[in-house]
Amino acid sequence: MRKLVILGATGSIGEQALEVVSASDELSIVGLAAGRRWERLVGQARDHGVPRIALADSEAAAAATDAWKGQVLTGEQGIRELVADSGADLVLNGMVGSAGLGPTIVALTEGIELALANKESLVVGGELVTALAEATDTRIIPVDSEHSAMFQLVAAEMPGTVQRLVLTASGGPFRGRTDLSGVTPEDALAHPTWDMGGRITIDSATLMNKGFEMIEAHHLFGTPYDRIDVVVHPQSIVHALVHLNDGASLAHLGYPDMRVPISYALNYPERADLDVPTLDLAKAGELTFAEPDVETFACLRLAREAGQAGGTAPCVLNAADEVAVGAFLDARIPFTAIAEIVERTLEAIPAAAPGHFEDLYAVDAEARERARELIQAVGVAP
């Protein structure tokens, strides 16, 4: 039995991870955490016989304590304790946002293997996070579908043979459009191929998500940015591609279903049976590929530039984006202002080399403050 903690259990990744666990005889859950949806979390704990849960929101934690006999930990500190004292073999971090960085640090510090869906951990703290994983000799197994695919493609290759990495992008709901004025949250939340949480769905519509994934790939595989390409592939069947030194290119294919990379990460290095349809290429029909439009989707350019600047720049990129996406979802700014807020926040806070995780938290707070000020200036969305 592998003992598992799931963070972000009430979210899209968390719920699908619970499905994977339910179908397995090899995995048992020793802790669950979420933000505020305490009733759902308590229900999951009951269903899976989990002894301890943690909720970031203190009111939600108090309500859960009244309603449930198990142990309830509170706040960010509670989530860190849940991980540190869990005795787990594996932590699945499926939290959303830079709040996921803290538990990632705790898991790696404790030497607990990390199945990482929370891409923000690597976007915000990539250099320090990978250095910590190396120092504690702890494996990070990517859960993001593209990175899981790359992880599997690269695994069989000798060092020095992989020339380029190619990330595929569905292109989101606005692929092919060059005018994004008037886009509503409802339009942007309608992702054509993947069913995901709100923030990542908006990030997919701006292509910021693909930019984050470029930064994630850079840190996971130690690949320079000028050897990471993005190609638009609307069918989301090819998840990633690697080009090798002898002219061969390897691709990872499958229907878009996050249970596949989740199951791979939770069972690594083994593979478990999973009740998903096998790819039928003839039925899938035409697979198409195109260059991304970085003029219309400026977030992809901004992410590449922030990644190349390095240091605190990706942390600023993420913080400004989190704030801007929240404001867009609340109908406080137009869709096109997301990239503008991010760009102006990056201009206002020059990249610096973080010496410690505390430096990142300080820059994260500064960038959020700056982004909020800019949002005030942009005004209310039409």
Binder among 8, 185, 234, 292 for ligand NAP (CB under 6 A): 8
Q: Which stretch binds ligand NAP (CB under 6 A): 94-102, 162-170, 225-233, 271-279?
A: 94-102
Q: Taking CB under 6 A as the rule, does residue 37 contact ligand NAP?
A: yes
CA dist list (Å): 264 to 83, 112, 158, 273: 21, 17, 22, 10
Binder among 4, 5, 12, 167 for ligand NAP (CB under 6 A): 12
Binder among 24, 86, 104, 118 for ligand NAP (CB under 6 A): 118
Q: Taking CB under 6 A as the rule, does residue 234 contact ligand NAP?
A: no
Q: Taking CB under 6 A as the rule, does residue 256 contact ligand NAP?
A: no
The distance between the two most distant Cα atoms of the chain, rounded to a whole number of Å, is: 63
Which residues, at least 6 apart from 166, have a Cβ–Cβ distance to it below 8 Å? 228, 229, 230, 231, 240, 241, 242, 243
Answer for the pair 211, 122: CB distance below 8 angstroms, yes or no: no
DSSP H or E run through 146: helix 145-155
Query: Does the bond joining 269 to the residue before it have cis omega, within 30 degrees of 0?
Result: yes
- Please report how close the Cβ of residue 211 comes to ligand NAP at its closest, in angstroms: 12
Q: Taking CB under 6 A as the rule, does residue 101 contact ligand NAP?
A: no
Return the DSSP state at 100. G
The structure tokens listed for 112 are: 């607990």
Q: Taking CB under 6 A as the rule, does residue 32 contact ligand NAP?
A: no
**Listing from the earlier edge strand, what are the strands of the sheet with 113-116?**
71-74, 52-55, 27-34, 2-7, 90-93, 113-116, 140-142
Q: Taking CB under 6 A as the rule, does residue 194 contact ligand NAP?
A: yes
- Please report how close the Cβ of residue 248 comes to ligand NAP at its closest, in angstroms: 27
CA dist list (Å): 351 to 217, 256, 314: 20, 36, 9
Measured distance CA(218)–CA(223) in Å, rounded: 5
Q: Taking CB under 6 A as the rule, does residue 172 contact ligand NAP?
A: no
Q: Which stretch binds ligand NAP (CB under 6 A): 2-10, 165-173, 270-278, 347-355?
A: 2-10
- Please report how close the Cβ of residue 355 comes to ligand NAP at its closest, in angstroms: 25
Q: Which stretch binds ligand NAP (CB under 6 A): 12-20, 184-192, 319-327, 351-359?
A: 12-20
- Please report how close the Cβ of residue 37 comes to ligand NAP at its closest, in angstroms: 3
Q: Which stretch binds ligand NAP (CB under 6 A): 90-98, 247-255, 272-280, 295-303?
A: 90-98
Answer for the pair 127, 150: CB distance below 8 angstroms, yes or no: no
Angle at 44 between CA 40 and CA 47, to 5 degrees: 135
Which CB sits closer to ligand NAP, 14 or 185? 14
Which CB sits closer to ligand NAP, 102 or 354? 102
Which CB sits closer to ligand NAP, 118 or 263? 118
- Please report how close the Cβ of residue 50 comes to ligand NAP at its closest, in angstroms: 14
Q: Taking CB under 6 A as the rule, does residue 192 contact ligand NAP?
A: no
Which residues, at least 6 apart from 219, have a Cβ–Cβ distance to it below 8 Å? 122, 126, 127, 129, 130
Measured distance CA(177)–CA(205) in Å, rounded: 11
Q: Taking CB under 6 A as the rule, does residue 258 contact ligand NAP?
A: yes
- Residues binding ligand NAP: what is the number (CB under 6 A)? 30
> Which residue's beta carbon is nearest to the bound ligand NAP?
11
Which CB sits closer to ligand NAP, 90 or 117? 117
User: Left (φ > 0), alpha (ψ -120 to 50) or beta: where does 314 sit?
Assistant: alpha
- Please report how close the Cβ of residue 99 comes to ligand NAP at its closest, in angstroms: 4
CA dist list (Å): 217 to 27, 150, 212, 261: 28, 9, 9, 15
**Binding residues for ligand NAP, per CB under 6 A?**
8-14, 33-37, 56, 79, 94-97, 99, 117-120, 144, 194, 196-198, 200, 258
